[in-house]
Structure 1
Amino acid sequence: MKKFFFTLLLMLFFRGFSQEKPKLVVGIVVDQMRYDYISRYYSDFEDGGFKRLIEEGFLYRNAHYNYMPTKTGPGHASIFTGTTPARHGIIGNDWFVPSINRRFNCVEDTASSVVGGVSNGAVSSRNLKATTITDELRLYYNFTSKVIGVSLKDRGAALPAGHNPTGAYWYDLQSGNMITSTYYRDELPSWVDAFNKENRPSAFLSNKWELFRDEEVYNESIEDENPYEQELRKGLGVSFPHDLPKHKKDLSLLKYTPFTNTLIKEFSMKAVVEEEMGLDSIPDFLTMSFSATDDIGHRFGPRSVEVQDTYLRLDRELSEFLSFLDDTIGKNEYVVFLSADHGATDVPSYMYKNKMPGGYHNNGFIKSLLNDGLGEVFGEGKWISSIINEQIYLNHELISEKGANTDEVKQKTIEILMGEDYVYEAFDANLVAKRMFTDPLLIKLQNGYENKRSGDILYVLTPSDLNDSWGRQGTDHRSPYTYDTHIPIIFFGKGIKPGKTVRPVSITDIAPTLSMLLDISLPSMSNGQPLKELFE
């Protein structure tokens, strides 16, 4: 009873300060969404999805990531903290930790375990050094504001939801359940259990993935059957229709289909209803990360029919979700923003075939090349501990054992790297951290460097060059180039006037904009600027 009256008093206290605030904020991140997908597919979109967001909302046409590597973990962290990896500490999906001599996942938390599934549960946001906009909302309203993060990927749920949300849920590739970890709660809410019992993943995999629209609609893509794509599974081929029932018992296959977006939409709608979000004057926050676009993009590449089909289907999902918000929360009672965590390069073999810059290298070859080259000067040994995120971690134990000079080892490493055609630039990380740069590429390199987690040498590849250790079909992302950095930012809903601008803005501007819209504190390390057009 005391808790009830305390909550009631809080609601009455904050009511006078929140009349103009949205009842619900929805942050949508579309994984690997290049900006040009909007213009390329626009004529094929329906009226209620992307077109509604753009025509009734405000579109930033020249929004970019301001750091490298452009990866999923750093992207989600940067959107919701309003700062770059140099500050929030999420420098990649993984990074190398010398003290344990292995790669470490950005949301890895060995103190936590899975709840509701069988795998992928040692997860939390502990590794995130800054508060998020969702954290600040929880703090402002003394944890009465509800915050829920939903994603196919663990990092797509944990990082946006912040350090102490109402809940964070992601997909377990083995059980097919939406799960969480003991960091967040000890058991799933009853509504999540009920959702899992519907066994939606098995239902999705019981049907073929066929074209969503008539074949002639897909003229923005290259031929469906082409040599630039990877099979979803052996025997499924690279063209439509994709016979998913052949592998329907493999629930991990779902992530390579557009139906995971349907799953995330349905689960998010259930969360809004069951958690009673957006029903009072204290704003709530739902974060949604659509990841099928990334997994399909990796397999098939940006020019594929599969990617276009996925976006046409996502357009329908967005239309249905916005209609749901209209009916459940009320028109003009909520705010939605939509952006992406990174873009993607065209498939290098496709670029090369069409006389465009593009190529491949191999990280294993680079490691051997460096070990051999350094060995000739400083003595034989495994001089390179790891190569990840275009960062090289030197073996400092060996440097000490051999009595070598660290700066000399670094300079020789850079010299060897710069002898390779596919390496555009290479730098001593310490020098990058200490200097003031005006070159935009070097600024991005600096913004991605974190003193305690990053490697010793930072390097940049030539445009559209990828590591071929996983094959020469499909694509990837991580570079400072525009195909990876140029993404959409759209704001829509309560108080947002329609418009567009080509003014350059950064991904780190989203969180401070939300702070101003909600009239709450900025995230602790935020250094972006509010998007001024929304307040004019």
Structure 2
Amino acid sequence: MRIKSLIAFAALFGALSGPAVAQEASPPRLVVVVVVDQFSANLFNQYRSRWTGGLHRLAEEGLVSINGYQTHGLTETCPGHSTVLTGAHPAQTGIPSNDWVDPATGKEVYCLAAPRNTLAHGRVTDNGPVGPDNIRAESLGDWMKAQKPGDRVFAVSGKDRGAINLAGHRPDGVFWFTDDFGLTTYVEPGQSAEARLAPVAAFNQAFRIRQQARTSSWWTGAETDCQALSGDWTINGQTFRSRVPPARDAFDNSPALDEETLAAATYLIDTQHLGQGRGTDLLGVSLSTTDRVGHAYGTQGPEMCEQMHRLDRALGTFLDRVAQIPGGALVVLTADHGGSDFVERIAARGYPHAHRIDNAPLSAVNDRLRDQFHLADSPLHSASSGLIVADKDDKALPAPLRDQVIDAALPLLRALPDIVFVEARDRLLQDPMPDTRNPEMLTVRERMRLSAVAERSADIIMIRAQNATGGGRVGGNIAGHGTPWDYDRRVPIVFWTPGAQAQERFLPIRTIDIAPTLAAVLGLSTPSLEGRAIPLWPEADAAPPEPGR
């Protein structure tokens, strides 16, 4: 799709009568893209009536698509974020999962690993040296910098993969929180760590003072509707006490992380004077707490309840600031993926099919393959998107043995309980890319094709039945996401600008439609994209249809 026309910002509010036409007008001075990690459409709808702050404002004043979709099947943070501002599926961004195994070395590779870089805070923490190198698609920020060099691009998050994916390859600043420091960033060869951190140096100093002065819990327990959700659950023989504050009372696992991320976003607006230049600035904001709460405590307890209320209030304060941008601002809110509750609570609430799976059948498959091919070690190893076929050091088996093991494994794996889809990655890659304009109609195979990347995806793609999960440890992760099922794929997509007419749209749109939509608003040319530009509010003042038409 080649977007050539400049859609006037005023046209968003219905200033055009009839079809939009190309005309010179000022686009918004600031575009803010907010991605709430693990914010499913189910969660959005569940709490929608309870919000009073920023989420209420977006839901009641914005253009709300209640059937937004991440189209692909492996619904994790890194691939989900990679779709939002590229207009491309993970199969095209080159980011199939949060990490993968290098078949030559057997080493795990983080999705945004960049060994040539260093981290600005001077330590190797979190995911090590990172950067945008592994992302194979350009994004909205890259188009802005190439076509309008005066435009500025910043991003901030609780996670490196949240910030970097939104910032693209050539941002003016990209920051995320790291333990005992504040906001950090990556430093490329020839760059200065001090210069890279300069935009947030004062913020970090004040942040550390706030952290050191903290004496109370990171949780308030003040939401009356949340306390009623408390309870005790048995998970893999351990007792999980679902209550606020939780047993692990840490900043990076609490609503305070999102509050500080939004404070940092506001700081960048103020100190970098975003939205106050002649062009348009882009600010990406990825909010990580909903994901961390969902993993550690599930989505239906008092922990997520408090997170939803506090996120709503923090976004309210942030939107108040955004609404003051003199030249106008356009805000988009979506999610990198959805999520589900832990299976024990799901089962107790009327869905007895939800359960944790037994890994013994997979062990039996490995036993048969070892015997059949006279192998000393099990050839099937778990990976983020399925199974790799490898030796004891996770290095790929040599040809033709690798293909022979895969051929023998497929029927055995398809016969396992709780497994609903199994296919070799290389065979899946032979399928054409599916038409995703009706994302709810995609087959499981098509969803997984949208996630498949040569060399990076697992050798064997394997999908479990709905609400069938493995693992689970109290004090670690007890719930998750990553499946092709709609509770992980459906996400809210909301466009908002002060004064625009509230509107709900029920037909599905995709996260890959966000980037071309924003590019059209900003008058940017794009490469050929899978996503399409969505008209925003064009009919507000449109002339009524002629009689009989």
Deviation of 1:72 (Å)? 0.4
CA apart distance, 1:502? 0.7
Residue 154 of structure 1 is matched in structure 2 by: 160
Question: Corresponding residue for 1:425?
Answer: 421
Q: Using a 3 Å threshold, how does the CA distance of structure 1 residues 71 and 461 change in structure 2: closer, same or farther? A: same
Q: Name 1:468's counterpart in structure 2.
A: 471
CA distance in 2, matches of 1:200, 1:38: 34
Name the SS of the counterpart of 1:311 in structure 2: helix
Q: 1:395 to 1:207 in 2, by over 3 A?
A: same
Question: Shift of residue 324 of structure 1?
Answer: 1.1
- TM-score of the aligned structures, taking structure 1 as reference length: 0.86
Asked whether the equivalents of residues 97 and 385 of structure 2 are also in contact (C-alpha less than 8 Å), the reply is no
Q: Deviations over 1:335-383 (max 9, x none)?
A: 00000011112211222334512222366x5764343121121112335
Match for residue 340 of structure 2? 345
Give the deviation of 1:533 after TM superposition: 4.6
- Residue 463 of structure 2 is aligned to residue 454 of structure 1: no
CA contact (8 A) 1:78 1:84 kept: yes
Q: Deviation of residue 449 (structure 1)?
A: 0.3
Q: Are 1:410 and 2:406 an aligned pair?
A: yes
When the two chains are superposed, the root-mean-square deviation of aligned CA atoms in Å is 2.8
* 1:272 corresponding residue in structure 2: 269
Does 1:312 find its partner at 2:312? no
Cα deviation for residue 464 of structure 1 reads 0.9
Partner Cα distance (1:319, 1:527) in 2: 33
Aligned-pair distance for 1:498? 2.3
Residue 193 (structure 1) aligns with: 201
1:135-154 deviation digits (Å, cap 9, x = unpaired): 11111112x21111100101
Change (3 A) 1:200 1:293: farther
Contact in 1 for aligned 2:333/2:493 (Cα 8 Å): yes
Identity %: 24
Deviation at residue 218 of structure 1 after TM alignment: 3.1
Structure 1 or 2: larger helix share? 1
Secondary structure of the 1:129 match is coil
Q: Give me the whole-angstrom Cα distance separating, in 2, the residues matched to 1:62 and 1:441.
A: 18
**Residues 284-303 of structure 1 aligned to structure 2 (within 5 Å):** 284-303=281-300
Name the counterpart of 1:20.
26
Q: Structure 1's 347 and 434: CA in aligned 2 closer, same or farther, altered over 3 A?
A: same
Distance 2:396 2:281 in 1: 52
Contact 1:125 1:158 in 2 (8 A): yes
The 5 A counterparts of 1:219-238 are 223-227=229-233, 238=242
Structure 2, unpaired ranges of 5+: 1-21, 435-440, 540-549
Q: 1:172 matched to which residue of 2?
A: 178
Give the aligned partner of residue 12 of structure 2. none
Q: CA–CA distance in 1 between the matches of 2:491 and 2:414?
A: 30
SS at match of 1:61: strand
CA contact (8 A) 1:344 1:483 kept: yes
CA deviation digits over 1:149-175, x for unaligned, max 9?
1001011111110001001101112x2
Cα distance per residue 1:478-512 (max 9 Å; x no partner): 00101101110000116854211110111111111
- Cα distance change on mapping 1:109 and 1:525 into 2, 3 Å: farther
SS in 2 for 1:532: coil
Aligned to 1:390: 385
Deviates more, 1:118-127 or 1:187-196: 187-196
Change (3 A) 1:90 1:534: farther
Does structure 2 retain, via aligned residues, the 8 Å contact 1:347–1:473? Answer: no
Whether contact under 8 Å (1:176, 1:201) holds in the other structure is no
Aligned amino acid, residue 477 of structure 1: H
Q: Alignment partner for residue 372 of structure 2, among 373, 377, 386?
A: 377
Residues 378-419 of structure 1: per-residue CA shift (max 9 Å, x gap): 112335364223322212877548x64x44321221122122
Q: Which residue of structure 2 aligns with residue 127 of structure 1?
A: 134
Note if 1:261 corresponds to 2:258: yes
Structure-2 separation of matches of 1:333 and 1:269: 16
Q: Is the 8 A contact 1:367 1:387 kept in 2?
A: no
1:283-317 residue CA offsets vs partner (Å, 9 max, x unmatched):
00000011011101111111111101101101001
Check 1:366–1:492 CA distance in 2 against 1; reply closer, same or farther (3 A cut).
Answer: farther
Q: Name the CA distance, whole Å, in 2 between partners of 1:17 and 1:112.
A: 43
Specify the SS of the correspondent of 1:490: strand
Equivalent-residue separation in structure 1 for 2:226 and 2:398 (angstroms): 59
Deviation at 1:456, TM superposition (A): 1.8
Q: 1:362 to 1:495 in 2, by over 3 A?
A: farther
Q: Distance in 2 between matches of 1:506 and 1:185?
A: 39
Decide whether the 8 Å contact of 1:149 with 1:167 is kept in 2: yes
SS of alignment partner, residue 373 of structure 1: helix
Is 1:336 aligned to 2:365, yes or no? no
Give unpaired runs (5+ residues) of structure 1. 1-15, 248-252
How many angstroms does 1:20 deviate by? 2.6
Query: 2:199·2:272 contact (CA, 8 Å) conserved in 1?
Result: no
Specify the SS of the correspondent of 1:434.
Answer: coil
- 2:67 aligned to which of 45, 62, 67: 62
Structure-1 separation of matches of 2:472 and 2:133: 31
* Shift of residue 443, structure 1, vs aligned partner: 1.0
Corresponding residue for residue 115 of structure 2: 110
Q: Secondary structure at the match of 1:487?
A: strand
Q: Which range moves more in the overlay, 114-123 or 18-27?
A: 114-123
1:82 aligns with 2:90: no
Query: Helix, strand or coil for the counterpart of 1:60?
Result: strand
Which residue is 1:41 aligned to? Answer: 47
Equivalent of 1:493, from 482, 497, 500?
Answer: 497
The answer to whether the 8 A contact 2:48-2:59 is kept is no
